[in-house]
Amino acid sequence: MKNKIDEIRELFETDLAAAGDAEQVEALRIKYLGRNGLVTGLTRGIKDIDPADRPAFGKMINVLNKTVKTAIQEKQNGQAGGKSVDSIDLTLPGRKPRVGGLHPLSQIREEIKQIFGRMGFAIVDGPEIETDYLNFEALNIPKLHPARDMQDTLYISEELVLRTHTSPVQIRTMQNRKPPIRVIAPGRVYRRDTPDASHSPFFHQIEGLCVDENISLGDLKAILAAFTREMFGEGTRIRFRPSYFPFTEPSAEMDMWWESSKGGRWLELCGCGMVHPKVLENVGIDPDKYSGWAFGAGIDRIAMLKFGIDDLRLFFENDIRFLEQF
Ligand code: PHE
């Protein structure tokens, strides 16, 4: 065994002296220290030695291993050294780390939260996997009610759905807090839609809810008018159109006048209305004493208008070239 160790050391010295360039030194490293290298082979052979002799030989092999490693490293450094020190170009610009930013939808969501925050609204949320009861029934949409057709739903089971709107957060809030209530609930919602420029199987809504004594449609109108002006500018025009939702009565659709190069038109911005007395009853709030309003607006819609984006899918493709423009 001792002979073998000496033999390999001598062979290595000859080889090392002969290795001229980086490639040859690398071949040398593999020959001695690689997976099937000569020194590696010695280490593996230890287990075949008489246990009494193992410590002594182990030590010798370790010394050889270290010698070979250091010699190769020194030779490699020597080869690279002279070259690399000279080749640092101090005039090159530094490498800039990439800095991330908020997704455009998050930016708009934060802006909306701030506007409503200034008007005294708290922020609440709820789960995206929701019970059929909270997504529909508590909102006055019983099973088999035709209004269910308004929202093509992704069911997880008989009793669980991917929430089709943020309105179930209305119910969750009213179950847990008593009036006065003034909250907004931003979040992701899901519908069975095929993606195109204006549809996606998931998108984002923001729910607003206000319940107190003597709350009227006038309050809803004032708050939404203030919101649109803050979001889109002082002169923004809005209008309310009668509509239908099972959980509000009366119900309305709020539109905003939108000027573009192709001329102006009314754009639907959110559904809204006075919280239906049945809904208040469902959560144990006395509809004779309290009244409230609610709205649900599309965050993606607002972001598309604000940023002048004509294809909803761009938000979800995660193309850095798109995202870094915001
Ligand atoms: N949840 C309704 C929708 O998604 C919008 C809405 C919210 C309407 C609150 C009225 C009140 O279409």
Which of 26-30, 69-73, 85-89 is predicted with the least confidence, judged by mean pLDDT?
85-89
Mean pLDDT for 113-130 is: 98
162 CB less than 6 Å from ligand 1?
no
Report the nearest atom of ligand 1 relative to the CA of 271: 8
Q: Which residue has the higher pLDDT, 41 or 215?
A: 215
* pLDDT exceeds cutoff 80 at 50: yes
Stretch 30-59: mean pLDDT: 89
pLDDT above 90 covers a percentage of the chain that reads: 68
Say yes or no: CB of residue 272 within 6 Å of ligand 1: yes
Tokens 């949320």 label which residue? Answer: 125
> Using a 6 Å cutoff on CB, does residue 203 contact ligand 1?
no
Query: What distance in Å separates the CA atoms of residue 211 and residue 121, rounded to the nearest whole number?
Result: 12
Q: How far apart are CA 52 and CA 150, in angstroms?
A: 85
Q: Which residue's CA lies nearest to atom 2 of ligand 1? A: 296
* pLDDT tier at 85, thresholds 50, 70, 90: low
Q: What is the pLDDT of residue 98?
A: 84
Q: What is the pLDDT of residues 197-242, one digit of tens each?
A: 999 999 999 999 999 999 999 999 999 999 999 999 999 999 999 9
Is 204 buried (19+), middle (13-18) or exposed (0-12) by CB count in 10 A? buried
Q: What would you report as the CA-atom Rg of the chain, rounded to the nearest whole angstrom?
A: 36
The 10s digit of each residue's pLDDT in 244-302 is 999 999 999 999 999 888 889 999 999 999 999 999 999 999 999 999 999 999 999 99
Best residue among 245, 268, 278, 295 to mutate for probing ligand 1, ranked by most atoms within 8 Å of CB: 245
Question: For the domain 104-323, what is the CATH superfamily, name and number?
Answer: Bira Bifunctional Protein; Domain 2 (3.30.930.10)
What are the start-end ranges of the E strands in the chain? 122-123, 129-131, 160-162, 181-190, 202-212, 238-245, 248-260, 263-275, 291-298
224 Cβ contact list (under 8 Å, min separation 6): 238, 254, 270, 272, 295
The listed range with the strongest mean pLDDT (13-27, 96-110, 136-150) is: 96-110
Phi, psi of 101 (to 5 degrees): -150, 175
Residues of the chain with CATH 3.30.930.10: 104-323
Specify the pLDDT at position 248.
98
- More reliable by pLDDT, 50 or 242: 242
Q: Is the CB of 167 under 6 A from ligand 1?
A: yes
Give the pLDDT score at 49: 87
Q: Which amino acid is at 230?
A: E
- C-alpha distances (whole Å) from 156 to each of 39, 134, 151 are 61, 14, 15
Q: Given this model, what pLDDT does residue 305 score?
A: 93
Please tell me the total number of residues recorded for the chain in this structure. 326
Residue nearest to atom 7 of ligand 1 (CA): 296
Neighbours of 189 (CB within 10 A): 24
Cα separation of 165 and 146, whole Å? 17
